[in-house]
Homo-oligomer: A and B are copies of this chain.
Amino acid sequence: MASVPAFAPRRDEPVFARLAIIGIGLIGSSIARAAKELNLAGTIVLADRDAAVRQRARELDLGHAIAETAAEAAVDADHVILCVPVGACGEVAAEIASELKSGAILSDVGSVKGSVVDAVSPHLPEGVSFVPAHPVAGTENSGPDAGFPSLFLNRWCILTPPEGTDPSAIAKTRQFWEGMGALVEVMSAQHHDLVLAVTSHLPHLIAYNIVGTAEDLEAVTQSEVIKFSAGGFRDFTRIAASDPTMWRDVFLHNKEAVLEMLGRFNEDLALLTRAIRYGDGETLHKHFTRTRAIRRGIVALGQEKPETEKLRKD
């Protein structure tokens, strides 16, 4: 990697002497790659409960060492990041708790924060800080091969430290994510779960749902759906190709916020459905006009290029 120009400044001094990454999927392997390339940690140890994944991580030369167990990886680590599905965080925290040294910072990358805080906090030893993190970045691909070091570049990472968390632990965690090129924001776990319910969880559920609906049709074949997907459907299929286990856990663990958003979504959809049924073009046009504003905000913020620009590149 030394010959490849870094996508972000390489640090002279690492943020953490020893970093442990538990779970070597898309996110875990991307952190390992970024941290190594940018010198964010002196030693990087990874662990995964799947032996085949550990083997692949060795072949990919991720980090500096691959541990056999999460507990082994956590020994003497200054920063431990749980990169496992949301539903597994509590269990892994319990498993590594006795190995965490005083002063260590425990973190995670889950897409739901309230339930992770609830599940992890009881296992937290004295002297260890918990700074939950959620990098709002990803692709449709999973596994150790899917990761790449610039995954977090210019993407938001939300930290949701519980009240009373040591400010220096928050500052170090921020420094680490900013070191990978991320933009860091701090908010409460509860607010995070509400924001993400609408910007991420509901869109995923809707995408999974519509792709399922399309698969079940009798009058339209699957090959036709695939062929003519450029009309809008294609974008939904990318979202609906995300990791099933991760997303199952997201919905089970952010249930209240997702159900609340789903309720609102359904009410609004009933209104549009009614407008279509009764030929109310004015209601449709009004609705379709006001939704353009949010898009302009996203393009203006540089979180996305306008589509023509991307098309022209092809």
Partner-binding segment picked from A49-57, A97-105, A117-125, A302-310: A302-310
Partner-binding segment picked from A32-40, A162-170, A251-259: A251-259
Give the Cβ gap from A293 to chain B, nearest Cβ, in Å. Answer: 8
- Is A226 interfacial (CB-CB < 8 Å)? yes
Give the Cβ gap from A281 to chain B, nearest Cβ, in Å. Answer: 5
Residues of B within 8 A of A230 (CB): 136-137, 155-156, 303
A262 near B252: Cβ-Cβ < 8 Å: no
- Is A194 interfacial (CB-CB < 8 Å)? yes
A235 near B203: Cβ-Cβ < 8 Å: yes
- Is A207 interfacial (CB-CB < 8 Å)? yes
Known: A240-B295, A251-B284, A279-B255. A158 touches B198 (CB 8 A): no
Give the Cβ gap from A149 to chain B, nearest Cβ, in Å. Answer: 10
Q: How distant is the Cα of A141 from the Cα of B305 in the complex, in angstroms?
A: 12
- Is A244 interfacial (CB-CB < 8 Å)? yes
Shortest Cβ-Cβ A-B pairs, 3 listed:
A200-B231, A244-B288, A203-B232
A311 near B151: Cβ-Cβ < 8 Å: yes
Q: Which of A111, A224, A230 is most buried by chain B, counting CB atoms within 10 A of its CB? A: A230
Given contacts A205-B272, A208-B291, 13 further A-B contacts (CB under 8 A): A150-B312, A156-B227, A156-B228, A199-B229, A200-B228, A203-B210, A203-B231, A208-B288, A209-B268, A213-B268, A229-B298, A238-B295, A262-B273
